[in-house]
Amino acid sequence: MRLKYESESYAVIAKKLKVSAYTVEGWFKFGGLLKEEYDKYSNEKTALLGVLSDETLAKNSNIASSMLVALMGSSDDNVKFRAVKEILDRTRGAPKVNNDQQGLFGTDLSYEQILRKAREKQPPPDG
C-alpha cells in the first residue's frame, strides 16, 4: 500500500513483490482485495500531511507576511505591485473575475505598460 501511495506503478510494485502487474492492479481496483484498506490508508496519510502542512503554515505565516511587506520596498515596480496585490487578495479577497474583460483591468495592457503610462502622466519633479 505504501508503494502505491508513493505513486509507484503497478509494474514496479509487481516486480518488487514478484507477482504480475495485472494481479497488483486487481488488488487496488473497485472490489479488489486491498481497495478498502488502501483508501483508508491513503485518507489517513493525506489527513496527516494536511495537519503537518497546517502546522508549518501556522509557524511561518508571520515570516511570510513580513517578507511580502518587505517586497513592497523593492526597487522593481513589478515586484512591488505583485506584493501589494498578494497582500490585498489575502486580506480583502481576490477580485471577482469578469469574463468580459480583456487583459489587465479591462485593457490589453501588461503591468509594466500600465506603470509606464502612469509614470508618463506624472509631472516632472521641480528642479
Nearest to 10 by CA among 23, 41, 46: 23
Residue pLDDT, tens place only, 79-94 = 998 998 888 888 888 7
Q: What is the DSSP string of 32-55?
A: -TTHHHHHHHHHHHHHHHHHHHHH
Q: What is the pLDDT of residues 40-83, one digit of tens each?
A: 988 998 898 888 888 888 888 889 889 989 999 999 988 998 99
**Residue 98, pLDDT score:** 57
Distance CA 1, CA 85 (A): 43
Average pLDDT along the chain: 84
Band (pLDDT 50/70/90 cuts) for residue 4 is confident
**Residue bearing the bigger pLDDT, 31 or 102:** 31
Residue spans of the domains in the chain: they are 1-69, 72-122
**Cell digits for 8?**
509507484
Task: Check: pTM over 0.75? Answer yes or no.
Answer: no
Q: What is the DSSP letter of 121?
A: H
Q: How many CA atoms lie within 13 A of 93 on its CB side?
A: 3
